Structure 1
Amino acid sequence: MRSPHSTGSGRHRATRTRRSAVLSGLRRPSLGTAVKGLGLIASALGVAVAFAAPPGPQVLELTAAQVRPPVEARAEPVSAPARVTRYGVIGFTAQPVRPTSKASSTARAARSTSAVSRDTSRAGLSNVGGMTPNAIAVINAVTKQFPGAGPFGGYRPGDPGDHGTGHAVDIMCGTAQGNEIASFLQANAGTLNIKYLIWRQRIWYPGGGSWQGMADRGSPTANHYDHVHVSVL
């Protein structure tokens, strides 16, 4: 008769055999399978946290490249106006300029450059006794180009200058009209046999270039500020 302690009972052998069969049927998981399982677990945890976290305000952060420093404008204080030796103080005073229409400018240019005929007729003129034909031609030319100009001054007996011999004409006028008349006479000095002009304390000779200043004679009339003086040959 066999001893149960040497071989074990039949009941005990059957139990050990079944456990070995179950364990042998199970497979040990590979390394790749374990990594995939961990990844699935981490994904599931992330989704759970996202749904569980309370919604909060959206925060935008500017990077250093998007921030620009403010633009600063500076102006240095000026203690005194700029001064140019030749032109004086500039930038602080201005003289008003009367607007001039294109038509009036064109008319003045035409008057100063248009040629005139030498008209020595005394018809329609009064108080021209003692005046030479060249002086009469000046009056006719100015009257035709500047209707309403004058009055005119001419022969003065006893005058030691050109007025005393009938070779001078005085044309009374304002500054603007006087400038136009003087320019017209300059342009037609050859046709009208003009010897010289005096206007606004200046004298002009044909062929002599620009106007030349004259000495002060003491009054606006003596300095020819209210009339153009014309001396003829």
Structure 2
Amino acid sequence: MSATAGQALCAIRFARARAEPAAVVHEESLKYSAAPPIYLLLEPINRLEMKLARHMRIKWAAAAIVPLAVLATGCSTTSGGAQYKASTENVIVMQEQLGEAKVKLLAFTASPGVNDSHWCRANGTISIGSGKTPSQFIHDAMQEELFLARSYSNNSPMAISGRVEALSFSSVAPANWDITLTLSSSSGASYQVQNRHEFDSSWKAADACKNVSDAFAPAVQALLKKAASDARFKTLVK
């Protein structure tokens, strides 16, 4: 892969990122909400990007060593400090809702169409950190707070599972994470919560995308607060 090819691919992706907001400012949701004529205008950009990316993969496979200086010219992955910090407020709410009941968590999954990898402007993909998928991140965050609430036990016959129904973000004002989560219990109870968490944006792509990554953990914290505060939360253990 050459530096010129890497720069060309980023330039193409930048053109696409600039074109999409002209139709709708939710480029990261990976869904086109624009009218068909605008969408069709993006097709040549998408085809050119795919052709160049395929060419770069062939060149890359033929190379024995790829210099770091060349890699630096390509698009990057934005990683932030998305380490989860348990919320005292969430823990208290869980204690009040569940009382003496104990629960365990099963795996959290994502509905078909929910992407684990999201593109942010022309800067590259977003990493939430910790090497986890968003579903795993939400699972571990909820498990930590249930544990601190003394409501978690691997031996409990009552199990809760989760499914991420929707996951998207916007890096432009009003910047936000939108997450929809369904919680289901082995008792048969189930309910869904949706939360939008807003955060600061920036005109600079690198700064804006880092804000997106950094805001994921607080977005999950707000989602779990909404889920635990819901009157239906206690029905999961009945």
Report TM bin, short chain: under 0.3
- Judging by fraction of residues, say which structure has more strand: 2
Structure of higher RCO (CA pairs closer than 8 Å, 6+ residues apart) = 2
State the structure with more CA Rg.
1
- Judging by fraction of residues, say which structure has more helix: 2
**TM-score where L is the length of structure 1:** 0.23
**TM-score where L is the length of structure 2:** 0.22
